[in-house]
Structures are given as structure tokens and as C-alpha cells.
Structure 1
Amino acid sequence: MMSGIPHVNTSNFDLNLLRVLDALLRERNVSRAAERLALSQPAVSNALNRLRDLLGDPLLVRVGRAMQPTPRALALETPIRAALRQIEQSLVVGEGFDPARSRQRFTLAVTDYVELICMPPLLRQLADEAPGVKIAVRHLSPSLPAEALDQGELDLVLGRFEGIPTRFSSRRWMSETLRLVARRDHPHLAEAPDLATFLRLRHLWVHGGQTRGMVDQWLGEQGLARDIVYTTPNYLQAAHIVVGTDLTVVLPTRLAQHFAGLLPLAVHPLPFALGPFHLDLVSVAQREDDEALQWLIERLMAIGRS
């Protein structure tokens, strides 16, 4: 049984073992870690055993079918990931980023709304300028995924946030307004609605994980409320539900116009004035010298301005 924390001789420590530990902590599975590293499963198992001996800790223990990190492994996770990222960035300094030859993979967290608006023009541009670059998208929760950014699991986040910590770099990506969307032959919307008509409508609300959106906050301040009969976290499903029912939905203007070009939908102004909301592009401030990431940010910022 292992006890205590032995002295680690860093002068001959195999740094490749840190890559293995990072992959194991990400995947919590030897087979998936091996696939991530393009190594055999026995090679990863052997590396884990070496790490256990060197660090005097089991690092990952099996609980049922999963492998759970020990407190020692969890304490090492963030600094190891940061160190590996620093090494990778240092190795490419002076080489310059060549988009035409790059095989880099970027991971972004966005909502389905941002994905629909942003990714088609980005992918067209990548096909022309950087055909080897790959994009992976994760679903964005309402709060900023700060830990995933810190640990290098995410390269960029695109969304609406408040109180972004100073350790992150934030750029205003786009400002948006809201519109009311309904099927074209909606029985109560032959023209743009006034407030009384708006309140009589049956509404679908895309909550996106929020407890209250801009519309309902404004109505609440006036002592009013609308009739929300259906809620969903998905912007993309909302338009398809509305087109087949008498429900209405408030959508970002770009998204409303996009769907109105594809489906028999009408887009109306809201019967009250709401200011715009803002979407920000967030990355780790320490990566300001990462040429590849800054190249991608420039392309995304151009899309936001278009």
C-alpha cells in the first residue's frame, strides 16, 4: 500500500508521462486515453503504473466501471494542463502559424443559435484558407465555463455573460435585438401586435437555462405577464414548433430572419422597446500570443461584424 509523497527527481522525469496523465484525467478511461494519444492500451497502462510509482499515489482508482481521480491527481490536473499548453505554445514560437498547412483542432462552446449563425460562414472560410483545421463545438450553459477554459478543454466561448473574470480576454462579438415570430397565417397577427394583443397570445419561450429572459423581466417591471405555454432550451426547435401551431416565439433578429427565409413565418417588431443584448468572445488571456488562436478569433470577429 502506498503511503506518503516521495521526492520526485525532475531531472530525469519523462515528460511524456504528463501527457498520459492529462489524457487519463480528461477521459477517465484507459482505452479512450490511449485512443486520444494514439498509443496502445498496454502502453498507457504501463505509463500509469510508472506514474503511480514515481508519485506514490494511485492517481486513478476504479469505482464501478469508471476511474475516479484521487485528491492528489485532482490537485495536479490544472497545473499539468497549463504546463503542457505552455510547452506546446513555446515550441511553435518563431515557426509562425500557417493556416494552409495547419491540422489544429479548436474546441468552442456556443449556443445552438450562435452555432447556426456563425459556423456556416466560418466553415466556408476554413475550407478556403485552412482546410486541415478542425472545429469541435460543445453546448454552452448559461454561465461562463471558466474551469473548462482554464484547463484548456475549451479554446473559445461565444455567448452572453456578465462579470467576466479579468484572467480572461473578452471581445464584444455582436449586438442583437429581439423580434416576435409566428406562422404567416396566424389568426391574431395580421399586422404587428400592440401590447394588449401581445399579452393575449400563447407564447413559446426559449429559456437557454435562464430563469427569466429580457421580455419577461420588462413585463414584470410593468406588473404584467404573458402566457407561456411551452418552454424549450433549443432555439432551432422553436421555429419548427411555431410554424405548426398558433404559438409565438421571441427570437434574436438574425435567427428570426434566417428562419423566415426557410419557413412560412412572419417576423414582427415587439410592441415595447427593449435594448440590445450583447454576445462576447472569451478566451484565456494567457493565450494572447497564440498565433493560431488569434487567427481564428480574427475570423470570428469579422463574422460578428458582417
Structure 2
Amino acid sequence: MAYIPAMNMSNFDLNLLRVFDMLLREQNVSRAAERLALTQPTVSNALARLRDQLGDPLLVRVGRRMCPTPRALALEGPIRAALRQIEQTLATADTFEPQHSHRQLRIALTDFVEQLCMPPLLARLQTLAPHLRIDVVHLTPNLPVEALDRGDLDMVLGRFNEVPARFTRQLWRRETLRVAVRHGHPQIANGLDLHNFLQLRHLWVHGGQTRGMVDQWLAEQNLQRQIVYTTPNYLQAAHLVAATDLCVVLPTQLARQFAGLLPLDLHELPFALEPFELDLVYLSHRQHDPALAWLAEQIHAITAQ
């Protein structure tokens, strides 16, 4: 086992941690220096000091890249989280003024939730916080706990089965499902019942899941629908269904939006499913960040409109 020297914090330059974080992000000294607004020799010197004080190479050259060692990977998350916590603590010392703030907040969403949330939210922010920047990234089916812990994400908005206790979970809205087909679909001239539903050719918006609510219910009844096309994209799904004899099950609010734009008819599911919940989730200690708390209030406010 390699010897790791004891750390004497009284002699440790905490500025090195910012360099370490950026080197791990970029895995390139020149790019790290550029993002830190430092010279390349300054960053190289900082890396040498980090290696000496931590007793590990931290980054080793492999081709044109500098790859992190296991020791560096183990330190990456805790150091990034600590830096984020310091930034948030310092930020909370100031009064958050939405009208003048240039904060950047990063949110993970599915394209369905983005379509529901962002148009009214951006209209609201244009007036209340015109300089606030929102960066949206794609949300996978599982809660991205590591990205939230590291501070790479500020909050997420979606449907989650389990949320660890260290996170705050706030109900945003409840949603139901509708079946969408093109106008004049030949198999639904007399309405939609379970028999017709099972005879239809289905498009499934999977969102990275292995089984959705509809297929879970059907499996419990020893039934199965005919899925002939899958896509991760709700917008593409609606256009495909409007142009074919496929059908798709969509969240009700989204289905109504698409029906106002495309030649689609909407039908209730021919069986009962409980509404599903969409939650706003962020680390509990972030509730003291006034910018994040304010944005959460705005997201809840557009639901009430």
C-alpha cells in the first residue's frame, strides 16, 4: 500500500483545491489554466504542489489526456462538494436581488417536464429576474444523487420513487395519462375500450425506463400491448402519431398542448391508473441559498396559475 503523508492543514494552500477541481474537470493543464484565468506554468506548479502534499500523482498522462488516478477520483466528489458549500455559504451572506442577479442555476429535467415548466417560468423570469441564467440538462429515470452532491446540479424536477433523507422533496404537480391518436383513426371510430387499446400499434416514450405505468398495470392483468416503436422524445412521439396509425400514451397536460398544435384526438385510458407525482428535489442544506429558494418559489407559483 502506498504511503500517504498526514495532512497538515495549517500548511495547506486551500487555493490549490480550486486548481484540483478544474484539473479533474478538464483533464488538461492548458484548458484548466484558461478557465481559471491563470497561466499554464502557474497551474503546472500547483499540480506539482498537490502531488507533493497528497503523496499521489493525481493525474497521469495517457496520450493527449491526463487521466485521474484512483486517489484523485476518490477526492473529486468530496472536494467539489466542499468548494460548492463554501460558495453557497458566501453567497448567502448577500441579499439575493432577483432583478439584478446574474446567478447561474443548473436543473435536470425530462423533455416532458421542460415543455410544461419552462415556457411559463421563463416568461416569469424575464420580468422578475432578467439576468438569471438557467441551464437545463437531461434527467435520467433515477435521481442523480451524485451530481447533486457534487454541486454539478442545483435541483431536479421529475418523477422519483425514492429520495434519500438528505434531500428536500416538494410536490410540484400531479399528472394523469391520455391516449393520443391521429384524427380519424380507423380503429377508434366508436371510442376506445380495453380491447381496442390492446389491438392498437403503440409507440412508447420510454425515458430510459424498462417498464412504464401502463405496462406495469397490463402485466398485473396478464395482458400485453403491441409496442412497435420506442423513443425517448415526447415531441417526436406526438408528430409520429399524428402522421401514422400508431397511438401513444402521454401525460395529460402535454397531450392537450400537442392536440392544440397537431391533428390529434385524445382519449381516456380504458382502465384506471392513479395519478403520478412530479417533485422538485434539492439538497436540504441548499434551502438556505436564497437564489435556489426563490427559484423554487417561482416554479411552484407557475403551477398555481
**TM-score bucket (shorter structure):** over 0.9
Counterparts in 2 of 1:45 and 1:124: CA distance versus 1, 3 Å? farther
**Percent same amino acid at aligned positions?**
66
Partner of 1:72: 71
Counterparts in 2 of 1:228 and 1:20: CA distance versus 1, 3 Å? same
Determine the C-alpha separation between the residues in 2 that align with 1:258 and 1:82: 39
Deviation at 1:31, TM superposition (A): 4.0
Question: Where do 1:20-169 residues align within 5 Å?
Answer: 20-169=19-168
- Which amino acid in the other structure matches residue 16 of structure 2? L
> Structure 1 unaligned runs (5+)?
none
**CA distances 1:158-195 after superposition (whole Å, capped 9, x unpaired):** 11111211011111111100000011121222353111
CA contact (8 A) 1:174 1:305 kept: no
SS of the residue corresponding to residue 288 of structure 1 reads helix
Partner of 2:4: 5
Counterparts in 2 of 1:191 and 1:108: CA distance versus 1, 3 Å? farther
Deviation at 1:7, TM superposition (A): 4.3
Determine the C-alpha separation between the residues in 2 that align with 1:12 and 1:57: 18
Range that drifts further, 293-302 or 41-50: 41-50
Deviation at 1:12, TM superposition (A): 4.3
- Which amino acid in the other structure matches residue 24 of structure 2? L
Determine the C-alpha separation between the residues in 1 that align with 2:271 and 2:114: 28
CA contact (8 A) 1:99 1:133 kept: yes
Deviation at 1:16, TM superposition (A): 2.0
- Which amino acid in the other structure matches residue 210 of structure 1? Q
Deviation at 1:67, TM superposition (A): 2.5
Counterparts in 2 of 1:30 and 1:263: CA distance versus 1, 3 Å? farther
Question: Normalising by the residue count of structure 2, what TM-score does the alignment of the two structures yield?
Answer: 0.93
Partner of 1:256: 255
- Which amino acid in the other structure matches residue 177 of structure 1? T
Deviation at 1:45, TM superposition (A): 3.0
**CA distances 1:53-74 after superposition (whole Å, capped 9, x unpaired):** 3322211112334332112212
Partner of 2:268: 269
Determine the C-alpha separation between the residues in 1 that align with 2:116 and 2:67: 38
- Which amino acid in the other structure matches residue 236 of structure 1? L
Determine the C-alpha separation between the residues in 1 that align with 2:42 and 2:100: 30
Deviation at 1:27, TM superposition (A): 2.9
CA contact (8 A) 2:103 2:132 kept: yes
Determine the C-alpha separation between the residues in 1 that align with 2:34 and 2:182: 48
- Which amino acid in the other structure matches residue 279 of structure 2? D
SS of the residue corresponding to residue 250 of structure 2 reads strand
Deviation at 1:35, TM superposition (A): 4.2
Size of the aligned set, in residue pairs, is 304
Determine the C-alpha separation between the residues in 1 that align with 2:302 and 2:30: 39
Partner of 1:214: 213
CA contact (8 A) 1:170 1:280 kept: yes
Determine the C-alpha separation between the residues in 2 that align with 1:157 and 1:103: 20
Deviation at 1:100, TM superposition (A): 1.6
SS of the residue corresponding to residue 56 of structure 2 reads coil
Partner of 2:204: 205
Counterparts in 2 of 1:249 and 1:41: CA distance versus 1, 3 Å? farther
